[in-house]
Amino acid sequence: MFPFNPHCSGDVMTRSVDGLDGFQALEELILDNNNLGNHMSFPSLPNLHTLTLNKNDLTDLEILLDKVASAAPALEYLSLLGNQACPNELVSTENDENDYQRYRYFVLHKLPNLKFLDASKVTKKEREEAISRGQFMRVVKPKETKVFRSPDCSSPDLSYTPLPSASRDPNHHKGVAGKCRYVYYGKHSEGNRFIRDEQL
The answer on pLDDT for 19 being more than 70 is yes
Question: 160 in a domain, yes or no?
Answer: no
Question: 181 in a domain, yes or no?
Answer: no
Tell me: the pLDDT tens digits for 141-170? 544 445 455 455 454 554 555 555 555 666
Which H or E element spans position 14? strand 12-14
Question: 147 in a domain, yes or no?
Answer: no
Which H or E element spans position 68? helix 61-71
How many domains does the chain divide into? Answer: 1
**In whole angstroms, what is the distance from residue 168 CA to residue 137 CA?**
50
Q: Which residues pair with 116 in a beta bridge?
A: 77, 121
Question: 127 in a domain, yes or no?
Answer: yes
In SS3 terms, 80-125 reads as CCCCCCCCCCCCCCCCCHHHHHHHHHHHHHHCCCCCEECCEECCHH
Percent of the residues in the chain that have a pLDDT greater than 90, as a whole number: 35
Per the structure, the complete domain to which residue 15 belongs is given by 2-136
Question: 87 in a domain, yes or no?
Answer: yes
Question: 123 in a domain, yes or no?
Answer: yes
Specify the length of the chain in residues: 200
**In whole angstroms, what is the distance from residue 155 CA to residue 171 CA?**
12
Question: 101 in a domain, yes or no?
Answer: yes
In SS3 terms, 146-163 reads as CCCCCCCCCCCCCCCCCC
The answer on pLDDT for 1 being more than 50 is no
> CATH number of the domain that 40 lies in?
3.80.10.10
Q: What is the CA radius of gyration of the chain?
A: 31
Question: 172 in a domain, yes or no?
Answer: no
Average pLDDT over residues 169-185: 64
The answer on pLDDT for 38 being more than 70 is yes
